[in-house]
Amino acid sequence: MLQISWTEVLGSLTGLVSVWLTVRNKVWCWFWGIMSVSLYVVVFWTERLYADMGLQLVFIVMNAYGWYEWQQRHTTTGNVDNFSQSPSRSITRIPHKYVLISLACGAGIAIALLFFLQRFTDAVAPEMDSALTATSLVALWMQAKRYREHWLVWLVADIAYVGLFVSRQLWLTSALYLVFCGMALLGWREWTKEMAE
């Protein structure tokens, strides 16, 4: 029997709003992101996906950081303080030196999380959980810095997340992450077009 919690429903809906606003390059994406990840703390705790639950807690902080970064750039350039506007910070490619640093940091986080999950928790999928958590952290940092390539990192993570959530019978969340895959491709296209302009 298909069972979906209201927490998962609301987390999915607010997550869609957040990603859509990110595609549209709107500062409000961070507010809706905070709403979504706060709800998913509860969902992932219930499902014993502890690294993903911890990731949502980190996402709250990172979303606040991203909101600050985008808004700070906006107000320091003299634009009107309006959260519905696009931030002034330009979309750029990630510098080459940060690619290797990002890979190394992601691998280090994944290994540390895997050790913790295997040793101290009853996590159901520690390898996948830790790897995807690390990948998501790197993607969110890249998003806050407005590096266009964050969409590709999200796409890889979202595809893998679909499989993980199907295995946990989180059907609505699986569908949400499938939509996120399409939105990542759309975001890549939109941000590339904005860079060209």
Q: How far, in Å, are 79, 97, 178 from residue 181 at the CA level?
A: 33, 27, 5
pTM over 0.85: no
Three-state DSSP class for residue 147: strand
Task: State the amino acid at position 45 in one-letter form.
Answer: W
At 81, the pLDDT band (50, 70, 90 cuts) reads very low
Q: How far is CA 187 from the centre of its chain?
A: 13
Lowest mean pLDDT among 81-85, 130-134, 148-152: 81-85
Structural tokens at position 65: 């950081």
68 pLDDT band, cuts 50/70/90, is: confident
Over residues 11-32, mean pLDDT: 93
In the structure encoding, which two tokens stand for residue 129, read together? 């959980």
